[in-house]
Amino acid sequence: MGLLLSKNPSKIVLLSYFLNPMVPKKVNNNHYVKKVNNNIVSLVARTGRHLQRYDTVGTKKVNNDIVSPVARTGRHLQRYNTVGTVGYRQVVGCIPYRYRKTNKSVELEVLVISSQKGKGMLFPKGGWEMDEDKKAAALRETFEEAGVRGVVEDELGMWIYKSKRCDTMHHAYMFPLLFNEQLDQWPEQNIRQRKWMTATEAREVCQQGWMKEALDKLISRPMTNSN
C-alpha cells in the first residue's frame, strides 16, 4: 500500500513505506522507488547517452554492416599545462614501427600518415585528455588517425613546438608503437593516407622537425623484437 500525494506520476513528491522497503517498487515503466536509510527515494531510470562509455578500439558490426568508430572530437577534456603565463596544450603520439626481413638483413619500417590538409607526412598524434593516461591516449590517437594497433613502449621524449595553424604552444610526448595489426577501416580513413616506409624515407617526407628528432631517437635504440 502507498500514499500518493500527486495524481500525476510525472510529479511524484512522496511515496509511503512499502511492505518490503529494500526492494524497489515500480511506479510506471521507468520509475522505481526504494527505502534507503529510512527515507523513500525515487529511482528514475537514466535516459540519453551523454555519459555513455564507448570503446573506440576496433570496429563494430551493425545490421550486418561493418562500421568504423568515430574519433573523439572537441577539447572539453583537453589537458593544458601552464608555465609562467603560457598555456601549453598537451599532445601525445606514436611512431608505429615493424621489422621487414629481406634476403640479406632485417630492416626497420615506420608508418607515416598524411596531414588533414594533405601537406606533407607525419606520425599520428593528438590531444592528451583528462580521462586517460599518456600511453592510452597515444594508442587511441594512433588507432583513430592511422588504423593500427600494437604495443606502446617507453616514451621517447617530450618536445615543445608551436602550432602554425592556431599559434598555440604544445608539449608533445612521443612513444614507439611496436606494430601488430593493421585495420581496413578506422575513424579517419576518409581524410588520411598511410604508408609504410624506411626510416630514411620517413625522415625525408616528415614535415615536423621535432618529429624527425623523435624518429632519430627511435632509430638509435638497440634493435628489439625483430624475430
pLDDT band at 18 (very low <50, low <70, confident <90, very high): very low
Place of cell 623523435: 214
pLDDT band at 210 (very low <50, low <70, confident <90, very high): very high
Q: What phi-psi label fits residue 219: left (phi over 0), alpha (psi between -120 and 50 degrees) or beta?
A: alpha
Alpha carbon distances (Å) from 154 to 32, 112, 130, 199, 202: 50, 20, 20, 19, 21
Contacts of 51 (CB under 8 A, 6+ apart): none
Residue 94, C-alpha cell as written in the block: 606514436
Maximal C-alpha separation, the chain: 86
DSSP string of 53-121?
----SS-EEETTEEEPPPPP--STTB-EEEETTEEEEEEEEEEEEEEEE-SS-EEEEEEEEE-TT-SSE
pLDDT value, residue 104: 81
Whether 59 has a pLDDT exceeding 50, the answer reads no
DSSP string of 156-213?
-EEEEEE-TTT--EEEEEEEEEEEEEE-S--TTTTT--EEEEEHHHHHHHB--HHHHH
pLDDT in tens, 92-126: 999 999 999 888 888 999 999 999 876 789 999 99
- Contact (CB, 8 A) for 140 and 127: no
pLDDT band at 86 (very low <50, low <70, confident <90, very high): confident
More confident residue, 22 or 154: 154
Percent of all residues in the chain with a pLDDT value above 90, rounded to a whole number: 52
CA 154 to chain centre: 18
Kindly state the average pLDDT of the residues 6-26.
44
Q: Can you list the domains of the chain with their CATH numbers?
A: 11-44 (no CATH), 80-220 (3.90.79.10)
pLDDT band at 31 (very low <50, low <70, confident <90, very high): very low
pLDDT band at 73 (very low <50, low <70, confident <90, very high): low
pTM above 0.85?
no
Kindly state the average pLDDT of the residues 40-48.
45
